[in-house]
Structure 1
Amino acid sequence: MARYMLIMRSTPEAEAAMAEQEIDFDQIIEEMGRFNEELIKAGVMLAGEGLTGPEEGFVVDFNSDPPVVTDGPYTEAKELFNGFWILEVSSKEEAKQWARKIPLGTGVKVEVRRVSETADFPLDNPWVKKEIQWKAELAEKIAAQARAEADRLA
């Protein structure tokens, strides 16, 4: 099994088309919810999140020392990263099949990239060993947070 990140990118044209068509945001949420539910039922979705607008973000530019931080929105950007999914699938072909099913409109693109696995790096490297430990600790923390949230909602 391999993990793939599906990166949703929107353009100004996509934003204009959505506004022009007067698409109800509840309809978008419903369509994405159905797609996400399909991913979950298929057992391939590991994560998925939408992002807030660029006005809430910032860019760190490392072309100078110290790096320069610029608050959003980013007028020079032609495409904005709006959200992502991380899927665990059997092949690149399966990742393509899922990416083609995302309910997105004109002007939106999805970039698909394989997520590096620990096995892609030298396992005797001390930093790789630390990364493995950090991931285990993070998984325990996330599980504890999920249990606490489930208890709170019960």
Structure 2
Amino acid sequence: MEAVAIHDVDATAEDELAFKKNDVLKILCMNEQYWYKAELNGKVGIVPSTSVEMRDYDWFFGPINREKAEEILLERKADGTYSQPDGAFLVRHDESSEGKFSVLVKLGESVQQFKVLSDNTGRYSIWGKKFNSLNQVLEHHRTTSASTTRTVLLKDMF
């Protein structure tokens, strides 16, 4: 996830990250109410949550459970057809891995979940190819399959 700095912040402790107004920070973990773990220019540290504004994405649903995510993706219209097209996706916090994300994708009458992997350099992937941000992973999988066994291209929800 990405956030934009609202104002300048000077680091006052070794584990804090300094940044300037309008810097775009990669938010690595949002598990604490007042502090986020973030990265800027290869440096990782904590930042005050009140000093950044999260970029808003329609696909990000935050801390919902898998059951609720599947319910959203498999919702039906009054005529019985699905509200969302195949490939419609959402991102949620992974329930089993703190600070991690899962991508859930509607495929026919079911939903497939992909865990977003991250390495110790802060790069993300679903399968193999690594990117600097979750946003880049999602953009890549709009044109390249997210699955190794069938074609799964991500599409925005309606």
Output the TM-score relative to the length of structure 1: 0.22
Q: Larger helix proportion, structure 1 or 2?
A: 1
Identify the structure with bigger relative contact order (alpha carbons < 8 Å, sequence gap 6+): 1
Output the TM-score relative to the length of structure 2: 0.21
Larger Rg belongs to: 1
